[in-house]
């Protein structure tokens, strides 16, 4: 387990034009956004180039689009920020972005079709090689919650694992020395029939990533400031650690979605949730979703997506941002809080060997509620059944 200081960052959502801004790139606007983030003490950003805008045809990699991405990375460096680059977007803020050469009469599975996988490999190789030339790039993730794409792209557990491993190998060859990561949302942890399994999250790539969203059902257990809600990030880290005890866990996404977390409680939710998970010795870093709100002049997003930013579109610091800034300052001054001695609970299943029973550890399950009650008294490690 790493003893390095916990990292703090934000998932970068451009304040002007959301990710559509890649189509009309403005480096000055990016630099203004990064000044906001550096101002609250963040050390990194996670950025999201959009796959079909870089590879609109299987035979075309747009060098202009890659140059814009490299300028974004340079802008981050100018503000003292390191960068994690996600590749397959894929899924962003409830929208899916796929190139036309996998749609309509070309309709194919991203995960199973060999032609698509060859095209993806070319894209991943080209972008990974380009960004690896920048010294402030520390990680490359295959994509943002790529398992969101499976209902429209058939796959099996075996195919999804092989797909991820193949692309991670491509990243590792193209960008040696940069962390190569696989990212999934939490159906992979909680939904019994999901074709991406927990072992993929903890066995593939160089460290584990988890995404903690309380609208997955946990906020219905006990409300916005209840113990189940406030400890969900720590619970996911513990589930991950139970499968790979020595592997760091990056809390790659966490935020304050409404209406689950009302505006007047967002600062307190931020403070108490992050304080809870900070003492976990497995924690690699905390990366907030997101840097900036979405302009409400843009249409058709789910309502909760518009207001997830640490900053408004006109660069005003929001309560969650101030709470996070205060925590960062305290943590850097004093170190992460020491944890009390931990107790251990044995899960009713083994997530490694019994993924079809994942619902038994999902939010609201008997085991989860038992863990939450115990967590109110002390940190709680999770031991897998029959391990």
Domains of the chain and any CATH numbers: 7-334 (3.20.20.80)
With a cut of 90, say whether residue 3 has pLDDT above it. no
pLDDT of residue 34: 99
Lowest mean pLDDT among 19-33, 194-208, 330-344, 368-382: 330-344
Q: Three-class SS of residue 313?
A: coil
With contact defined as beta carbons under 8 Å apart, do 224 and 245 qualify?
A: no
With a cut of 70, say whether residue 1 has pLDDT above it. no
Crossing angle for the helix pair 266-278 and 319-334, to the nearest 10 degrees: 30
Written as one string, the DSSP assignment of 178-204 is SEEE----THHHH-TT-SS-HHHHHHS
Written as one string, the DSSP assignment of 74-139 is HHHHHTT-EEEEEEETTEETTEE---GGGSGGG---TTT-HHHHHHHHHHHHHHHHHHTTSTTEEE
pLDDT band at 340 (very low <50, low <70, confident <90, very high): confident
pLDDT of residue 353: 95
pLDDT band at 320 (very low <50, low <70, confident <90, very high): very high
pTM: 0.97
Q: Give the CA distances from residue 86 to residues 30, 33, 50, in Å, rounded to whole numbers and listed in that order.
A: 17, 19, 9
Task: Give the tens place of pLDDT for each residue, 245-296.
Answer: 999 999 999 999 999 999 999 999 999 999 999 999 999 999 999 999 999 9
Task: Give the tens place of pLDDT for each residue, 38-73.
Answer: 999 999 999 999 999 999 999 999 999 999 999 999
Q: Three-class SS of residue 173?
A: helix
Q: Give the CA distances from residue 117 to residues 111, 124, 377, in Å, rounded to whole numbers and listed in that order.
A: 7, 10, 48
pLDDT band at 386 (very low <50, low <70, confident <90, very high): confident
| Distance separating alpha carbons of residues 81 and 74, to the nearest angstrom | 9
pLDDT of residue 202: 97
Average pLDDT of 228-241?
A: 98
Average pLDDT of 317-334?
A: 97
pLDDT of residue 337: 83
With contact defined as beta carbons under 8 Å apart, do 46 and 287 qualify?
A: yes
* Residue 178: strand pairing partners: none
């Amino acid at each position: 387990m790493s003893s390095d200081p916990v990292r703090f960052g934000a998932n970068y959502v451009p304040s002007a034009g959301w990710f559509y801004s890649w189509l009309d790139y403005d480096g000055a606007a990016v630099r203004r956004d990064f000044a906001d983030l550096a101002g609250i003490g963040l050390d990194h950003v996670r950025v999201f180039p959009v796959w079909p805008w870089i590879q609109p045809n299987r035979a075309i990699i747009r060098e202009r689009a890659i140059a814009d991405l490299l300028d974004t990375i340079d802008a981050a460096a100018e503000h003292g920020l390191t960068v994690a680059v996600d590749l397959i977007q894929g899924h962003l803020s409830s929208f899916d972005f796929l190139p036309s050469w996998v749609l309509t009469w070309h309709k194919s599975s991203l995960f199973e079709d060999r032609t698509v996988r060859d095209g993806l490999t070319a894209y991943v190789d080209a972008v990974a090689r380009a960004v690896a030339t920048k010294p402030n790039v520390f990680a490359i993730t295959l994509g943002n919650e790529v398992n969101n794409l499976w209902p429209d792209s058939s796959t099996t557990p075996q195919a999804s694992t092989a797909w991820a491993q193949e692309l991670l190998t491509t990243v590792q060859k193209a960008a040696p020395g940069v962390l190569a990561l696989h990212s999934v949302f939490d159906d992979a942890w909680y939904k019994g029939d999901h074709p991406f399994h927990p072992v993929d999250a903890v066995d593939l790539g160089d460290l584990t990533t988890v995404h903690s969203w309380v609208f997955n059902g946990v906020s219905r257990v006990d409300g916005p400031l209840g113990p189940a809600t406030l400890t969900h990030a720590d619970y996911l880290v513990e589930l991950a650690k139970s499968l790979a005890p020595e592997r760091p866990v990056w809390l790659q996404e966490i935020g304050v979605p409404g209406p689950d977390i009302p505006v007047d409680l967002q600062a307190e939710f931020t403070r108490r949730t992050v304080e809870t998970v900070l003492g976990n010795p497995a924690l690699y870093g905390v990366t907030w979703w997101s840097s900036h709100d979405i302009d409400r002049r843009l249409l058709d997003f789910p309502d909760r997506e518009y207001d997830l930013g640490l900053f408004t579109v006109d660069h005003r610091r929001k309560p969650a941002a101030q709470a996070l800034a205060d925590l960062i300052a305290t943590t850097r001054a004093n170190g992460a809080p020491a944890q009390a001695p931990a107790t251990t609970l044995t899960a009713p299943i083994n997530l490694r060997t019994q993924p079809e029973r994942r619902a038994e550890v999902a939010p609201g399950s008997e085991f989860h509620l038992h863990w939450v009650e115990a967590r109110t008294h002390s940190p709680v490690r999770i031991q897998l059944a029959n391990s």
